[in-house]
């Protein structure tokens, strides 16, 4: 076994590898960019080396810097994690040339599967079923349009050299093909340095099922069962589970054997994933092979009790696979939810900021097998409270994984685990995840890659604003905070027992009450708390309630007219954040005469996140209709189109292609069109 390895990655996967290596007695070296100088993975490793500036190309994609760090620290092997250079054949080859073991497959295997078109041709020879499509080298747009017509719409355009949903577009009709092709190529070029694409028939209501494979240097290859990754947004996975619901033992074996055949056809070693697209009737087709460890590997670990990262290290060190196929079995059901810094209500736009408050459910971090009932949640994360989420890297904050004796139990534990997550400082998808897990389609295992879109009404409900229960909770939290502050001030005053230190709302010749004004967006709420010998009475929205409550271990136990509920209230400046049953409300305390801070000036368009302007699609003076695309931004490796919020005329344009913009920066100004 190795004495020391370098992890050529960051964040959650770097922490994951460090933990597995430490359990095997292997020392670890972390690398970091200037943006990650104080990151969690840096402090967790035995040593760390700076490799460059925040831009990925100057740091985590800088092969020479990574190899230099390995030489300086005496590492024997390099673990690429996932993303960045994990599927880069040149990096794997350069590691070998420099005398380091690449903890992954051979460069030839990466090359064989890295080009999706070539991989399809290879799989066809190996007898693995393929989706109808075009995988040729000729990239002439006219030819591609002709091939799309042969395949039949809808057609999927997909980058040949990458994954993760980048460079991928669904085209419903020939009229939209040229624009979609141009956009897919541009995004593919930016993400992978290669703008070649392939075409596939887009299946209606397909499932995304992948099989975990492992190979060793002795020629053994096994499959560790499958994962369903159908729930996706923007072609990126949101929820994953193992085993795949509704898959029969015969289908599981057939799919597993096809995955093993795919791996053996290229002499595969290490961890890999063969991804299939499956029709609702169980028919499946090869989609691609990821020649690395997957983000969702924990669900496989949870049902098998195996540490896949430790398997990676053992195989890379030349050891045979710990188990053969007949020795492998799974137990129970596991579900993983990816927690992202993003805003689902705004098209899942990434969010940046400082994690001012971070609370995860209690669990055993990186635990690979259930340890009793009920099983605690597993949290794989690379961030801590106080960390800054920048626009430079993927916005995933953590992975939340649960196990249950069956899928029903796992679903219940996931709902409870998500309800315990508290994050302040960035927008997150936690509420969206909770709604998805509880949705009719997901809870009923009615799965396909379009689940989010077809469940949109359920997953994106209209915001009804703060309820009376929310206002009661925030008012009670504010009263407790004021009482605590008064008690602290009294303790330090010249007269600790002065009645002026009491905050019970008493007024001379007036009823004893307290008035609080809270804002939520542009709406304000006046809440009156009346103090009486028998307790509080709350007046809000013309209604009066009996209010009672207490605080236990940071959780408010609130009773409103006898209906009791629990809520966590966290203060952040003037903002109160309420976390209740998986919902997150923000209410701002202000004076009765106060007003919310003004937002973006009417008639302007502001950048919803920091990023780079890729294209300005209009000129000053142009008349545009509501919904017309105006500007294309690139942030966190994805393209985002800014559209006109209304009809109007472009009065001014403030940025040009190639320029960086900050969140909230006004991109252009629209004014009313006079005919």
Cα–Cα distance measured from residue 90 to residue 104, given in angstroms and rounded to the nearest whole number: 13
Is residue 527 located within the same domain as residue 511?
yes
pLDDT band at 511 (very low <50, low <70, confident <90, very high): very low
Nearest to 320 by CA among 212, 223, 214, 216: 216
Is residue 69 located within the same domain as residue 21?
yes
Q: Is the pLDDT of residue 408 over 50?
A: yes
**Which CATH number does the domain housing residue 508 bear?**
3.30.700.40
Q: Look at 26-35, 340-349, 361-370, 502-511 and tell me which has the smallest mean pLDDT.
A: 502-511
- Residue 114 placed within a domain: no
Is residue 235 located within the same domain as residue 172?
no
Cα–Cα distance measured from residue 499 to residue 281, given in angstroms and rounded to the nearest whole number: 75
pLDDT digits (tens, 9 = 90+) for 428-447: 999 999 999 999 999 999 99
pLDDT band at 598 (very low <50, low <70, confident <90, very high): very low
Residue that is last in its domain, among 150, 172, 201: 201
**Contact (CB, 8 A) for 45 and 32:** no
Is residue 572 located within the same domain as residue 624?
no
Cα–Cα distance measured from residue 137 to residue 198, given in angstroms and rounded to the nearest whole number: 9
Nearest to 88 by CA among 109, 72, 119, 117: 109
407 noted as active-site residue: no
Is residue 446 located within the same domain as residue 416?
yes
DSSP state of 80: -
Q: Is 557 exposed, middle or buried (0-12, 13-18, 19+ CB in 10 A)?
A: middle
Q: How many domains does the chain have?
A: 5
Q: Is the pLDDT of residue 371 over 80?
A: no
In three-state form (DSSP H/G/I as H, E/B as E, the rest C), the secondary structure along 461-529 is: CCCCCCCHHHHHHHHHHHHHHHHHHHHHHHHCCCCCCCHHHCCCCCECCECCEEEEEEEECCEEEEEEE
Nearest to 431 by CA among 584, 580, 240, 565: 584
Is residue 250 located within the same domain as residue 357?
yes
The residue written with tokens 């690429």 in the block is 80
Main-chain dihedrals φ then ψ at residue 348, nearest 5 degrees: 65, 35
- Residue 142 placed within a domain: yes
Tokens of 313: 């290290």
Q: What average pLDDT is seen over the chain?
A: 88
Nearest to 572 by CA among 383, 384, 422: 422
DSSP-derived secondary structure for 263-320: HHTTT--EEEEEEEEE-TTS-EEEEEEE-S--TTHHHHHHHH---HHHHHHHHHTTPP
**Contact (CB, 8 A) for 271 and 311:** yes
User: Torsion over CA of 176, 177, 183 and 187, rounded to 10 degrees?
Assistant: 140
Q: Look at 223-232, 435-444, 579-588, 628-637 and tell me which has the smallest mean pLDDT.
A: 628-637
Q: Is the pLDDT of residue 318 over 90?
A: yes
Given this model, what pLDDT does residue 184 score? Answer: 94
What is the arithmetic mean of pLDDT over 513-526? Answer: 88
Is residue 510 located within the same domain as residue 532?
yes
pLDDT digits (tens, 9 = 90+) for 248-299: 999 999 999 999 999 999 999 999 999 999 988 888 999 889 999 999 999 9
**Contact (CB, 8 A) for 413 and 402:** yes
pLDDT band at 321 (very low <50, low <70, confident <90, very high): very high
- Residue 118 placed within a domain: no
From the CB of residue 43, how many other CB atoms can be counted at a distance below 10 Å?
11
Tokens of 233: 């947004």
Q: Alpha carbon of 290 to those of 168, 219, 246, 270: distances in Å?
A: 16, 19, 24, 11
The residue written with tokens 């039949």 in the block is 152
Given this model, what pLDDT does residue 294 score? Answer: 95
Q: Is the pLDDT of residue 612 over 70?
A: yes
Q: Look at 117-121, 180-184, 411-415, 494-498 and tell me which has the smallest mean pLDDT.
A: 494-498
**Which CATH number does the domain housing residue 34 bear?**
3.40.50.20
Q: Look at 264-268, 290-294, 469-473, 606-610 and tell me which has the smallest mean pLDDT.
A: 606-610
Given this model, what pLDDT does residue 486 score? Answer: 73
- Residue 321 placed within a domain: yes
**Contact (CB, 8 A) for 394 and 636:** yes
Please give the residue range of the domain that contains residue 188: 132-201
Is residue 265 located within the same domain as residue 379?
yes
Given this model, what pLDDT does residue 552 score? Answer: 86
Q: Look at 191-195, 417-421, 485-489 and tell me which has the smallest mean pLDDT.
A: 485-489
Tokens of 594: 């106060």
What is the arithmetic mean of pLDDT over 10-34? Answer: 97
**Residue of 233, 252, 292, 585 marked catalytic:** 292
């Amino acid at each position: 076994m190795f004495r020391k390895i370098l992890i050529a990655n960051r964040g959650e996967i770097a922490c994951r590898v460090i933990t597995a290596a430490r359990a095997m007695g292997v020392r670890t070296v972390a690398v970091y960019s200037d943006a990650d100088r104080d990151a969690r993975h840096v402090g967790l490793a035995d040593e760390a080396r700076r490799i460059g500036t925040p831009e990925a190309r100057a740091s985590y994609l800088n092969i020479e810097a990574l190899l230099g760090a390995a030489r300086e620290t005496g590492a024997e092997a390099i673990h690429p994690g996932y993303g960045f250079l994990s599927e880069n054949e040149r990096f794997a080859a350069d590691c070998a040339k420099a005398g380091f073991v690449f903890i992954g497959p051979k460069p030839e295997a990466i090359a064989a599967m890295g080009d999706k078109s070539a991989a399809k041709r290879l799989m066809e020879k190996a007898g693995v079923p393929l989706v109808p499509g075009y995988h040729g080298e000729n990239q002439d747009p006219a030819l591609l349009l002709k091939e799309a017509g042969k395949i039949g719409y809808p057609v999927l355009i997909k980058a040949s050299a990458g994954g993760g949903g980048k460079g991928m577009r669904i085209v419903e009709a020939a009229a939209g093909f040229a624009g979609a092709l141009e956009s897919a190529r541009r995004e593919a070029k930016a993400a992978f340095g290669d703008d070649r694409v392939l075409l596939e028939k887009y299946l209606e209501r397909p499932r995304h099922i992948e099989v975990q494979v492992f190979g060793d240097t002795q020629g053994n290859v096994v499959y560790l069962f499958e994962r369903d990754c159908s729930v996706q947004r923007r072609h990126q996975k949101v929820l994953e589970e193992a085993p795949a619901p509704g898959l029969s033992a015969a289908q599981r074996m057939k799919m597993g054997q096809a995955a093993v055949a795919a791996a053996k056809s290229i002499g595969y070693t290490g961890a890999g994933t063969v991804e299939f697209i499956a029709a609702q009737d169980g028919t499946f087709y090869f989609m691609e092979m990821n020649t690395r460890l997957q983000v969702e590997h924990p669900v496989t670990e949870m049902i098998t009790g195996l540490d896949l990262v430790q398997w990676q290290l053992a195989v890379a060190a030349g050891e045979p696979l710990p188990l053969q196929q007949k020795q492998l079995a799974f137990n129970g059901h596991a579900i993983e939810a990816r927690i992202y810094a993003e805003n689902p209500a705004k098209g899942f736009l990434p969010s940046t900021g400082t994690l001012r408050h971070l609370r995860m459910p209690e669990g055993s971090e990186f635990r690979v097998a259930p340890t009793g009932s009920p099983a605690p949640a597993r949290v794989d994360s690379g961030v801590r409270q106080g960390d800054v989420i920048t626009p430079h890297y993927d916005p995933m904050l953590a992975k939340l994984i649960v196990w249950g004796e069956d899928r029903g139990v796992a679903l219940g534990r996931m709902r409870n685990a998500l309800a315990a997550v508290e994050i302040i400082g960035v927008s997150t998808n936690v509420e969206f995840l909770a709604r998805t897990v509880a949705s009719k389609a997901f809870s009923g295992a009615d799965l396909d890659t379009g689940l989010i879109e077809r469940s949109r009404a359920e997953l994106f409900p209209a915001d009804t604003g703060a309820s009376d229960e929310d206002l009661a909770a925030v008012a009670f939290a504010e009263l407790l905070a004021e009482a605590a502050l008064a008690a602290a001030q009294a303790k330090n005053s010249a007269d600790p027992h002065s009645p002026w230190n009491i905050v019970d709302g008493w007024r001379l010749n007036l009823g004893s009450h307290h008035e609080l004004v809270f804002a939520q967006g542009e709406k304000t709420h006046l809440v009156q708390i009346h103090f009486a010998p028998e307790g509080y009475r709350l007046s809000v929205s013309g209604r009066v309630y009996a209010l009672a409550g207490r605080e236990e271990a940071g959780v408010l136990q609130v009773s409103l007219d006898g209906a009791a509920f629990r809520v966590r209230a966290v203060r952040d400046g003037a903002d109160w954040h309420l976390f209740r049953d998986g919902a997150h409300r923000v209410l701002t305390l202000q004076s009765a005469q106060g007003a919310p801070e003004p937002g973006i000036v009417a008639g302007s368009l502001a950048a919803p996140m920091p990023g780079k302007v890729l294209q300005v699609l209009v000129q000053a003076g142009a008349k545009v209709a509501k919904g017309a695309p105006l500007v294309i931004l690139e942030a966190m490796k994805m393209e985002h189109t800014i559209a006109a919020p209304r009809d109007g005329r472009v009065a001014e344009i403030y940025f040009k292609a190639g320029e960086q913009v900050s969140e909230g920066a006004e991109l252009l100004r629209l004014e009313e069109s006079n005919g």
